[in-house]
Structure formats: C-alpha cells, structure tokens
Amino acid sequence: MSVLEANDLNVWFDLPHGGRLHAVQGVSFNVKEGERLGLVGESGCGKTTALLALMGLLPPSAEVAGSVTVNGEEILAGGEDAMRPHRWTDVAMVFQGAMNALNPVKTVGSQIEEPMKFHDTSSGAAAEKEAGDLLELVGLPASAATRYPHEFSGGMRQRAAIAMALACNPKVLLADEPTTALDVMVQAQILQLLLSLTRDLGLALVLVTHDLPLVTQVCERAIVMYAGRVAESGAVDTLFHDPRHPYTRLLFAATPDLSGERDVASIPGAPPRLDRPILGCPFEPRCDRAFDHCKVETPSLLEVGAAHRAACHLNDGSLERPSDREAAR
C-alpha cells in the first residue's frame, strides 16, 4: 500500500508581467513504506516544485490541481489551512543547504521541539528528551540542543535538520537536494544516515536531486522529469540498464568528469519554455532518435515493463518509424 500518492499533479505560476508558467504537468507517482524514490532531472524541470506541492509550500502566485494522499487521505484539496495539520506529522521535509533552513537566532533544540508543541505530540521536559534522542539518532550529541546553528558545520546542520524533520514521526520524508553544497565525505555520511533511517524507522523517502550517482546509490525507484512532466519511471537498475526514453539514456550515459560529477547540461540544447503550450514531445528538439511523429503528438506514459513506464513514441509499436521502414525493405 502506498504511503504517499500523487495523482495528476499540476502547478501553474502567474508570471509578473502576465501569462502563466506550467511548471508541473500531470505528474503522478507513489511511495510505499520504507521505500526510497528518486526524483531526477535538470534544474528547472519542475522536480522541486512538485516536491513542494506535495506539502502545499507554494507561493500565492501558484495554482495547483490534482490529488495528494497520505495513507489514502487526501491532503491537498483543502488548501493551505487544511494542509497544516498534516505537515510534519505525515510528511516532513529537509531542504537544500541547511545554512538558512534553521533559524539563526534560536537554539537547535528549540527548533526541534517547536513542531512537537504545536502539533501537540509532546511538550515540556518530554519534548526536550525527545529532541535529545533525535539528535543522537542522527549522530549528533544531545548537548547540541542548546547550541545555535552557526556553531555547526554544514554537515552537522543538515543532520540537525533531519533530526528536526523527524520530530513528529512523519511517514514520509521529502528531501530536496539535501547534500548539494556539502563536501563529498559529508555527502556520503548524510546519505548513509538517510538509508538507515528508512530501514530502521520504515520511513518512506522522496529524494529530489540532479546528481545521478546519488540516485543510483540511494534510491530503489526513480522518476525522471523533463519540462514539468514525467519522462520515465521505474526501478533505478532498469533505468540504468534499459532506459526507454532518450533523455534517460543520455542522462545516465553522460560521461563523468574527474571529480565524479556528471554534468547533465552536457546534453546539447536547452529545455523548452513552459509559459506556452508545447506541440508534440517536449524533448524532441534535443532528441537523437526523434522522428516525424514526435513533432506532432505529445507522448503519454506507456507501460514498457514491470512497473516501468516511459513517455516516448519509440515504445509505441503501432507507430511507423523511419527505421522500421528501412528494416522492412
């Protein structure tokens, strides 16, 4: 049973000078208990927006449609006010670069206890003890509770942020680029922490990142997003060995440079603008296997294997392609 399910999620942003940006277009996915799902794509593909939409953390310029359910209960449709009780208690989030995600003028401990008090899950001395326990769970000393964020290094702050995220025993943890801006050694530690938390606590994890090696290390399944849509989804191994969308293939095949970073921007071209409707497949201009039909019709997600889907006309056997014509001759 899915612990978190997003169905046909759409997000539009009003632009300052008129017009709208369709940042997330019909995205659906789900996570089960203890499962780790990756959300990957270039910057601007809508993965962060989709993640924020799961918790309703969007600005007033946004309009949202679709459904988000936690253990079957719909949490998005009621708007900001209805969402509030579910935040942190059902779904919690760890942000990119905990530099500023923690309030600099409050102690770490008080920030961990804060949601406990306001969601009525604990208070007073009990809350203090729980905060201390959470800190130890993430590998920090309990005494860290009386310190201020600036007294910690980036990695330690991120751990504190994770401890804070667990304060109300959420079922799902969303992580938006949690290890960017941390150095490699620390990255590995944080990832290890997240792995053990999902195993030990049965926590479901949705990890947004542009870093592919990370996804292959940590996640079991992944969603590849492009231009606000899902390009392909499936088990990470399958995506790596049998990609059914040219974008996925190019992503995973991009040559790593000496520092081990894969530069996704090494695919030539740029993603399409999202403030106007797109005719046909959004990836077509950059695709190395595009054919005529790709310009005409937008591909929908097709089942291409066990729990493996891709939005690409190449998987559609009913379509005639130039290579088929050649093979037939």
Partner 1 sequence: MKSVEPALAEGTALVARPSSGGNEIVRVLKERRSALAGLVIVGFFVAMAVFGPALAPYSWTQQSGPVYAPPSSEHWLGTDDSGVDVLSEMLYGGRTSLIVGFAAAFVAMIVGGGIGVVAGYAGGGTDNALMRTTDYFLVIPDLVLMIVVATVFGPSLSHVILVIGLLLWTSTARIVRSQVKSIRERVYVRRARSLGASHRRIVAQHILPQVAPLLIATTVLTIAYAIFDESALAFLGVGVPGVSWGTMLERAFERTAMTQGAWWAFVPPGLAIGLVVIGCYLMGQAIEDALNPRLRVAHLSIKSWRFRTTPNVAEGDAS
Partner 2 sequence: MHRADYVIKRLAFAIMTVFVAITVNFVLFHALPGNAVSGFIRAPHVSPSLRAALTHEFGLDRSLWQQYALYLRELVFHANLGVSFTDSQPVTSTLADKLQNTIPMVFVGTSLAILVGIVTGFLSAWRRSGVVDRVSTSSAIVFYALPTQFIGMVLILLFAKYLPTAGMRNEINNYFSSGSTWSNVKDIGLHMALPAATLALTLFGEYTLVVRSSMLETLGEDYVLTARAKGLPQRRIVIAHALRNAMLPIATLVALSLGFIVAGAILVEIVFSWPGIGQLVYSAVSNRDYPMLQGAFLILTLSVVFFNFIADLLYFKLDPRIAV
Judged by the rule CB under 8 A, the positions of this chain that interact with partner 2 are 55, 57, 83-89, 92-93, 95, 97, 99-105, 114-115, 118-119, 148, 150, 164
CB of 282 to partner 1, least distance (A): 11
Contact 75, 147 (CB under 8 A): no
Choose between 22 and 36: whose C-beta lies nearer to partner 1.
22
- Residue 103's binding partner out of partner 2, partner 1, none, with CB under 5 to 8 Å set by partner kind: partner 2
Choose between 77 and 296: whose C-beta lies nearer to partner 1.
77
Choose between 12 and 152: whose C-beta lies nearer to partner 1.
12
Neighbour count for residue 8 (Cβ, 10 Å): 11
Choose between 102 and 267: whose C-beta lies nearer to partner 2.
102
**SS3 of 321, please?**
coil
Contact 220, 35 (CB under 8 A): yes
CB of 262 to partner 1, least distance (A): 25
Residue that is written with structure tokens 């922490």 in the block: 193
Choose between 156 and 212: whose C-beta lies nearer to partner 2.
156
- Residue 100's binding partner out of partner 2, partner 1, none, with CB under 5 to 8 Å set by partner kind: partner 2
The rounded distance, in Å, linking the Cα atoms of 73 and 86 is: 10
Those residues with Cβ within 8 angstroms of residue 147's Cβ, 6 or more apart along the chain or in another chain:
107, 108
Choose between 229 and 245: whose C-beta lies nearer to partner 1.
229
- Residue 88's binding partner out of partner 1, partner 2, none, with CB under 5 to 8 Å set by partner kind: partner 2
- Residue 85's binding partner out of partner 1, partner 2, none, with CB under 5 to 8 Å set by partner kind: partner 2
CB of 260 to partner 1, least distance (A): 25
Binding residues (CB under 8 A) for partner 1: these are: 8, 10, 12, 19-22, 26, 56-66, 76-81, 274-278, 298
CB of 302 to partner 2, least distance (A): 35
Choose between 165 and 267: whose C-beta lies nearer to partner 2.
165
Choose between 74 and 242: whose C-beta lies nearer to partner 1.
74
- Residue 291's binding partner out of partner 1, partner 2, none, with CB under 5 to 8 Å set by partner kind: none
Those residues with Cβ within 8 angstroms of residue 42's Cβ, 6 or more apart along the chain or in another chain:
210, 226, 264, 265, 271
Rounded to the nearest 5°, which phi and psi values hold at 321? -125, 155
- Residue 102's binding partner out of partner 2, partner 1, none, with CB under 5 to 8 Å set by partner kind: partner 2
- Residue 119's binding partner out of partner 1, partner 2, none, with CB under 5 to 8 Å set by partner kind: partner 2
Contact 314, 244 (CB under 8 A): yes
CB of 53 to partner 1, least distance (A): 9
DSSP line for 171-219: SEEEEESTTTTS-HHHHHHHHHHHHHHHHHH--EEEEEES-HHHHHHH-
CB of 8 to partner 2, least distance (A): 23
**Nearest CA among 238, 183, 246, 193 for reference residue 218:** 193
CB of 117 to partner 2, least distance (A): 9
Length of the chain: 329
The rounded distance, in Å, linking the Cα atoms of 310 and 279 is: 18
- What are the start-end ranges of the H helices in the chain? 47-54, 79-83, 98-101, 108-118, 124-137, 154-165, 184-201, 212-218, 236-241, 246-253, 292-296, 322-328
CB of 41 to partner 2, least distance (A): 21
Neighbour count for residue 266 (Cβ, 10 Å): 12
